[in-house]
Amino acid sequence: MIQTPDFFDPALLNKYNLNGPRYTSYPTALEFNNEVNDTSLVAAATDSPTRDLSLYVHIPFCHQLCYYCGCNKIVTRHADKADRYLDYLAKEIALRQKAFKHYKVGQLHLGGGSPSFFSIEQHTRLITMLKQAFDFKANAECSIEIDPRHVDKQYLTGLANLGYKRLSIGVQDINFDVQQAINRIQSTSHIAELVSHARETGFDSVNLDLIYGLPHQTEQTFKTTLAAVKAMDPERISLFSYAHLPDRFAAQRKIKEEWLPSAQTKLALMKLAMTSLTQTGYALIGMDHFAKQNDELAIAQQRGELHRNFQGYTTLGELDMLGLGVSSISAIYDMYGQNPKALNEYYAALDAGTSVVVKGTQLSRDDMIRRDVIMALMCNLQVSIADIEEKWDIDFYPYFAESIDKLTPFIQDELVSVSATSIDVDPKARLLIRIISMSFDAYLAGKLHQQRYSRVI
């Protein structure tokens, strides 16, 4: 088994630490255009061979602004905004219901913003609307992200009673100076109490989010954060890299450059977290998630059966995904479609009866083939040539001659091996998987594109 420090060969990381997409979709959101609409979404749902659906509901509201945040959110103190939002979600659900009546919902995820902005009464209204409109499987996996500052035990019990089984809590960092600099002061003991109450009240799985690269973080402070998180014994941990892009995200202008750890310290923080978590018994999933060895994600990864969608890694195979709410993205068979990013535009489309999907892309056959290859690499570090040839009726190597050519430097550095049966990425190149996958991306010819993505590390 590979030791985590093996990922951190400085020469390799320096050589290949370029900007690259995260490939939550292929083609990536940069290729979205305004040539798709609600009609394309309905057509894709009709044509799709998949009958399993994942629902994503975006709840954009937050009580307070975290300065590092790059999400689509609306900071407000007006709780009644949630009622109006639910009225519009009801309209959107009614609009989508017919096209998805032949699907079974296997997964529901509430993200944001802060889904915990909703009261339990508002959550009850949402779940009731969803269950009336869509056919949920009895064992549908229902998950929700919460902001621990605005949640108590009673609230968690309310969510558990509504059927939520997976909980994701934003911890980020427990150090006070860091919390102050990011405007997110929260109590660690309160989070620990919520985690243990979640277990008692029926949640199967708790995920804790951490961020490295935040202002004032040092190896010493992050060690303390990691120890506190491990003590809470979550089933999963997400470890995100903070990308400081103040030109794109106004809130980040409140974070002074000089507060940020150097590139060298940031790499050391990542290495510290990866080493510490894997030594504690967590398996590294993809590039930035950790799961207990007996967690279904870790088992799926060992079996080469991991999948990836806009909600992250999943074991549930290739479900179609319907996004509901402002800015949410749907991924249905051969199309991606996104709702308006601005709340007033989302409301206006539903009032006027115009298309709620305002941008996205219709995938060509070539896009779909490449998507399969890129997702196999991103999830399982391996592409089965036979699987792709059989599914798409192509001769893999002639079809991908140009891509294989682009793999040459990785092959020469013994990071990738290519044989008649498979393409395999050496585990020590795991942190470079985005860069390796770019070899199969047909849209990356322009240098301009690369500058739009964050650096890999």
Structure tokens at 109: 């995820």
What radius of gyration, in Å, describes the C-alpha atoms of the chain? 22
Applying CB under 6 A, does 324 fall inside the site for ligand SF4? Answer: no
Comparing CB distances to ligand SF4, the nearer of 127 and 169 is 169
Question: Residues 46-65 vs ligand SF4: string with x where CB under 6 A?
Answer: ----------------x--x
Distance CA 96, CA 324 (A): 9
Residues ≥6 apart with Cβ < 8 Å to 154: none
Distance CA 89, CA 324 (A): 7
Comparing CB distances to ligand SF4, the nearer of 113 and 312 is 113
Comparing CB distances to ligand SF4, the nearer of 113 and 325 is 113
Distance CA 160, CA 166 (A): 9
Applying CB under 6 A, does 147 fall inside the site for ligand SF4? Answer: yes
How many residues bind ligand SF4 (CB under 6 A)? The answer is 11
Least distance to ligand SF4, CB of residue 410, Å: 35
Comparing CB distances to ligand SF4, the nearer of 211 and 335 is 211
CB 300 within 8 A of CB 315: yes
- Interstrand relation of 52-59 and 104-112 (parallel, antiparallel or unpaired): parallel
Among 18, 42, 43, 69, binds ligand SF4 (CB under 6 A): 69
Least distance to ligand SF4, CB of residue 73, Å: 4
Distance CA 450, CA 101 (A): 40
Binding to ligand SF4 (CB under 6 A) within 242-281 occurs at: none
Applying CB under 6 A, does 74 fall inside the site for ligand SF4? Answer: no
Comparing CB distances to ligand SF4, the nearer of 59 and 385 is 59
Among 13, 29, 42, 71, binds ligand SF4 (CB under 6 A): 71
Structure tokens at 252: 């980040």
CB 349 within 8 A of CB 355: yes
- Distances from the Cα of 189 to the Cαs of 219, 220, 229, 368, in angstroms? 22, 20, 11, 47
Residue type for position 267: L
Least distance to ligand SF4, CB of residue 209, Å: 9
Least distance to ligand SF4, CB of residue 70, Å: 8
Comparing CB distances to ligand SF4, the nearer of 36 and 251 is 251
Binding to ligand SF4 (CB under 6 A) within 104-123 occurs at: 112-114
Distance CA 226, CA 281 (A): 13
Which runs of consecutive H residues, i.e. helices, occur in 134-234? 153-161, 176-182, 188-200, 219-231
Least distance to ligand SF4, CB of residue 245, Å: 14
Among 36, 41, 66, 133, binds ligand SF4 (CB under 6 A): 66
What values do phi and psi take at 235, rounded to 5?
-70, -35
Stretch that binds ligand SF4, among 68-76, 191-199, 264-272, 289-297 (CB under 6 A): 68-76
Distance CA 423, CA 404 (A): 10
Least distance to ligand SF4, CB of residue 16, Å: 30
Structure tokens at 250: 């106004």
Distance CA 124, CA 169 (A): 20
Dihedral sign for Cα atoms in the order 15, 19, 22, 28? negative
- Interstrand relation of 74-75 and 61-62 (parallel, antiparallel or unpaired): parallel
Comparing CB distances to ligand SF4, the nearer of 117 and 396 is 117
Comparing CB distances to ligand SF4, the nearer of 206 and 432 is 206
Least distance to ligand SF4, CB of residue 3, Å: 33
Among 23, 41, 73, 357, binds ligand SF4 (CB under 6 A): 73
Least distance to ligand SF4, CB of residue 179, Å: 12
User: Which residues of the chain form contacts with ligand SF4 (CB under 6 A)?
Assistant: 62, 65-66, 69, 71, 73, 112-114, 147, 170
